[in-house]
Structure formats: structure tokens, C-alpha cells
Structure 1
């Protein structure tokens, strides 16, 4: 299947999830944030998204990171054509506003794209991720454009059945190093494994 066909199938499956499943998954994902498998010093910067619509997770993921003393930055989508994301600092007191495509973003001034270079870990939304690290996003390429400035550990956040063996890939796709799912938690991805190629 093409990327567009896979995206359509995954979106339909997400929309069909029950409210109970979505809320249970969000609670589990927040709990996993207290059990990061990579060493991250207190006070370090972690990039994470603010889930909207059918995306897995909730603000509780970010609150769990805030509880541990991390500095959190969240994406801000720039106006115009797709380009690298801007970023904004987030904590429990941050006022949010609904912006482009219904995304929740801080009302505070944004930081330049290079700010992602400060992050030790970046949690990336995805429609699916393969065991070889291939991530399928929504198709605009914002994260692929953004991650080139970062040496952060890259974690794709998906539902458990969205961690798959193989996905269509392009040369511009930035591979993920970990998957985070509600039930299985953190799974190390392997670009040298049988799904690679």
C-alpha cells in the first residue's frame, strides 16, 4: 500500500477506538513517562507534543515529565508552507490556545527551530512506527524537517497495534530509536533488524 492508503486505514482505526480505550491508553502513557529507559538528568530539556484529536496520550504525559523536574518544550507550527517546527516552553501553568489544524499551542512567544538541539529526548507523534524505526506521520514532514538539528533520543508514541513490522519509507524520513505504546511501554527499535531494507 502507498503511504496515503496506510494513513487512511490508520486514521479510520483511530477514530473507531472507544472512549474507554483512548482514556486508558492516555493514563498508561503518562505512567510510562515516570519510567524512562534512557538516562536523563533532572533539569534536562525534553520535547513532547500536546495530543489532540485521536492522537495517543494527554496533557498528563507532559505533567509527568514536569513532576520530574524536566524542562519541557512543545512544538509550534509556523505559518505558511511546511518548514521546521518552532518550540515553546511548557509547564502546568502554561496557557494554551487552539491554532492551525486545531493544535493546542502555548500562548507564550515561540522559540526558534534550533531550540530542539537543547533536548535530550523528543517524543514524536506518529500514526504508526515500524520495528526498523520507520515512522509514518501525517504527511506534511514537519518533524522530518525539524529533527535534523537534534541529537535527542527519538521516541515515536503510538497505540500498541500501530507498532508494526514494516511501513513504506522515503529517504527523507528520520528514523525513530524507540516506540512508546500504552501497554508494552518502551520498545527499542532496530534499523538493522529483519524489517530493515
Structure 2
């Protein structure tokens, strides 16, 4: 299977998702994990229309006093991270994704205490391959990120195997979170 074919498969699987139910299930699993409980900073994302809803996660991070960083697309190959103190500040950005406005300064995730990165994907394989949308934003970020991380993937988008290039980020089974828990 090529990456193009894998993305088509994953997008077809996502059409059937109940975004709120899957997002709520992931959030409940996440909130019980030690990675969440020990995180002072959460790097997350505002969900796209075909992704599990992350609103509960974003709201809870702020309610618990965690610092919340969200990505902002700069170019077709670059994104930065911005600390967001209030979700009402988010605006439609690149690709229609809600993101921090241009007026807020970029932040370096390495400068934050106890970070936990929540990473989106189209699909994941049981052996840890992350299939993204093809822009490479998260692969470039993860190549240098040293904190805790979890890949958020609906159970319906977990495959036995997926195509992988050398630069693609890989995840351990215990780092892949579905609405039913981690893969390990």
C-alpha cells in the first residue's frame, strides 16, 4: 500500500466517526493517564472537521491550570507553537484549522516544564507508524521534541501496517491512544 492509498483508506474510515463520542472517549482515557496528571504544559491541537473532537482536552488543560500550546501554520512546511490562555482567542487559520492569532508570540516548547505533546494523525499502525496528512509539520517537530508524547488515533484508523519513510515519526504502542486506551 502506498501512502496515497493509506490516506484514502484512513479518510474513508473517518467519515463514519462520531467525532464527539470518540473525542470524549480519548479525553477520558487521557485524563486518567500519569502523563496527563504530571504534565504542567500540554501541546495540543484544535481538531479538524474529520478528527476526534479535542475541545474537552483543551478546556480541561486550561481549567487545571496547565499551560496550553497550540500550533500555528506559518508556511506550507513550517509551524510554530503559541501559548493560548483562552480558547476564545482562536481564529480560523491555514487549512481552516482554529489556531492562535498572528498577534500572539511564538513559544519554544523546550522552555516549558513537564510538557506532554498530543499529536494528531490520519492513521497509525500497531507497530508505531504515524500516517499524517503529508505536510511533514509534526515529523519535523517530533524530530527534535524530547518530552512526553501521545498519538491520538481513533480505533477505526488503527491498521496492522502502514507505509513508512525514514523521516516519519514512530511511536511505541503505549504512546498511541485511542478511545479505548493505548495499544499496549
How high is the TM-score relative to the length of structure 1? 0.82
Describe the superposition over 1:63-100 as per-residue Cα deviations: whole angstroms up to 9, x where unpaired.
Answer: 12223321110111113x313x2011124454111011
Structure 1 residue 171: Cα displacement: 0.3
- Is 2:109 the partner of 1:116? yes
Match of 1:34 among 31, 34, 42: 31
Runs of 5+ unmatched residues, structure 2: none
Runs of 5+ unmatched residues, structure 1: 189-197
Match of 1:98 among 88, 92, 95: 92
Match of 1:69 among 59, 65, 68: 65
Q: Hey, what does 2:123 align to over in structure 1?
A: 128
8 Å CA contact 2:31–2:37 kept in 1: the answer is: no
CA distance in 1, matches of 2:120, 2:43: 11
CA distance in 1, matches of 2:144, 2:109: 7
CA distance in 2, matches of 1:163, 1:127: 9
Q: Hey, what does 2:21 align to over in structure 1?
A: 24
Q: Hey, what does 1:54 align to over in structure 2?
A: 50
CA distance in 1, matches of 2:116, 2:70: 12
Question: 3-state SS of the aligned residue for 1:33?
Answer: helix
How high is the TM-score relative to the length of structure 2? 0.87
8 Å CA contact 1:29–1:57 kept in 2: the answer is: no
Q: Hey, what does 1:11 align to over in structure 2?
A: 11
Question: Could you say which structure has the greater relative contact order, defined with CA pairs below 8 angstroms and 6 or more residues apart?
Answer: 2
CA distance in 2, matches of 1:56, 1:155: 14
What is the alpha-carbon root mean square deviation over aligned residues?
2.0
